[in-house]
Amino acid sequence: MAECLNKLFPACLDYFSMQRSEHLLNNVDMFVADQDNAKIKVNYGHPLFCNHPENVFALKSMVTTFLEYCAPRLSRIPAPTSLYGTLQAQLLDDAVEVVHRELYRRLSMLTFGLDIDFITALSGEMYESSAATNFQLVILPNETALCGVSFDAATRWELKIRNLHAIRKQLNLANHGALAVAPPSVGAGPYPCTLGFINSSEADRFPRFRFVGHMAWEFHVPCASGNTCRMRYWQGHLTLPGNILEKEIFCAVNKIFSSVTQSNRIKDVIVQLLKQNRGAVAVFSKPDVMETEVQRLVRDLQRGIAPVNVIPVAGRPKNLRKAELLEQAENLKRITEIDGAVLIDTNGNCHAFGVILDGECTPQSKGDMSRGARLNSTRAYIGWKRSIHSGPWLGAVISEDGMFDLL
């Protein structure tokens, strides 16, 4: 049974994670059986718990709920080989629904009764054609905790749907600070209400929702480490925090490019792309291979832009001044603002940008209609280049929602 659970869990985690599970799970089993194979336990020594404690808030609840739901059902399956096709898909679908409900319940325990669905509705409410991006809603334990501008009784609004637009206006007026709310006091109504405005430094002392886009928010808690995000909502589902996992990225890259120096440079580029909070596609190969590909794809076929000289976008910090590193990061920012892929060699130099990738679709690069054109076209291109043995290739696809794939 443990084998089946370890097979199913990565697919479940894919739904709840902004990163792909193969780079999170690190080839270590999440579920282990005891000596008599009679009981399954969670491996709390797993690197996902130990190396990334900011994920634990949601992850422990996810793993436990997944185990409690799937284990009894797997025990009724005659043999592990029976777990395939429709049966496996149905079990995963049901497990995702159960875990999703548990994450909502767990989050609600920390918000003093604040309705999570109201937060989602607020993130989707437009004000003068603008989403509530970068505004914050701070949850205070009581009214006396407010250190800022208080509302009088007439301008306090209960957090319920019929007051949604009025609260959205107040959120907008918070400007660079935050809108403070508190649970109802004894004898008051059942809904939390808005209290007033609070500055951002004070807001960091309390649990808070940060709106990051239309129908997208993050839940943050005070934390000395700086990794304050504990859960995200993105257009329909809750996810783990979108943390940048540099160690896992390096390990994945190093499987293709064995040079530590080259792998570090590629990892640095990917980390910079993830920090920019925008979608991007980067393709990596060795300098001589990349030069040949730019000649074919860009100069001959006119499917991108090649600068007169290569553009440095990554380098080892000890060999570069801080100003030069900032210039490299700015180079990468500029070239990824143009639609299309960027072609980067293992020395950290960009050879072309705005590139429209070609390629030949094969069964190995089968499309995934649940994902966008970036992923599917890059997967087909990388698979095709590897099939014709033209050097080591790696594709990095970063979606606007923070998910990334290494191909």
DSSP 84-118: -HHHHHHHHHHHHHHHHHHHHHHHHTTTTT--HHH
CATH code (residue 333): 3.40.1700.10
288 has a pLDDT exceeding 60: yes
The model's confidence at residue 21, banded by pLDDT at 50, 70 and 90, is low
In this prediction, residue 111 carries a pLDDT of 82
322 has a pLDDT exceeding 60: no
Cα angle 23, 233, 276 (rounded to 5 degrees) comes to 60
Same domain, 145 and 53: no
In this prediction, residue 25 carries a pLDDT of 63
Same domain, 323 and 276: yes
- End position of a domain, from candidates 220, 254, 284: 220
The model's confidence at residue 183, banded by pLDDT at 50, 70 and 90, is confident
Q: Which helix (H) or strand (E) holds 312?
A: strand 311-312
Whether 390 is in a domain gets the answer: yes
Boundaries of domain holding 144: 116-220
Whether 283 is in a domain gets the answer: yes
The pLDDT tens digits of the residues spanning 84-110 come to: 667 788 888 999 999 999 988 888 887
Whether 227 is in a domain gets the answer: no
Whether 261 is in a domain gets the answer: yes
Same domain, 171 and 203: yes
The two three-digit tokens of residue 115, written as one number: 């309705």
Percent over 90 (pLDDT), the chain: 22
Whether 61 is in a domain gets the answer: yes
Question: Mean pLDDT, the chain, as a whole number?
Answer: 83
Whether 236 is in a domain gets the answer: no
The two three-digit tokens of residue 278, written as one number: 């925008």
**Cβ-defined contacts of 6-12 (< 8 Å, 24+):** 6/30, 6/31, 7/83, 8/70, 8/83, 8/88, 8/91, 8/92, 8/95, 9/63, 9/66, 11/92, 12/62, 12/66, 12/92, 12/95, 12/96, 12/99
Whether 238 is in a domain gets the answer: no
Mean pLDDT (whole number) for 388-399: 84
Q: Quote the pTM value.
A: 0.74
Give the count of domains, the chain: 3
Same domain, 277 and 401: yes
The model's confidence at residue 178, banded by pLDDT at 50, 70 and 90, is very high
Same domain, 124 and 202: yes
Secondary structure class of 353 (helix, strand, coil): strand
- Give me the sheet containing 341-345, strands edge to edge: 311-312, 349-355, 341-345, 280-285, 394-398, 404-406
Same domain, 295 and 393: yes
189 has a pLDDT exceeding 60: yes
Same domain, 189 and 252: no
* Cβ(240)–Cβ(58) below 8 Å: yes
In this prediction, residue 243 carries a pLDDT of 66
Same domain, 40 and 188: no
Same domain, 209 and 252: no
- Low-confidence winner among 194-198, 326-330, 371-375 (lowest mean pLDDT): 326-330
How many residues appear in the chain?
407
Nearest to 337 by CA among 397, 278, 272: 278
| 229/275 Cα distance (integer angstroms) | 15
Same domain, 360 and 394: yes
In this prediction, residue 337 carries a pLDDT of 81
Strand segments (E) across 90-214 = 136-139, 148-150, 178-182, 193-198, 208-213
The two three-digit tokens of residue 398, written as one number: 């970063």
153 has a pLDDT exceeding 70: yes
Same domain, 100 and 131: no
- End position of a domain, from candidates 168, 186, 220: 220
Same domain, 151 and 264: no
| 159/267 Cα distance (integer angstroms) | 44
Whether 386 is in a domain gets the answer: yes
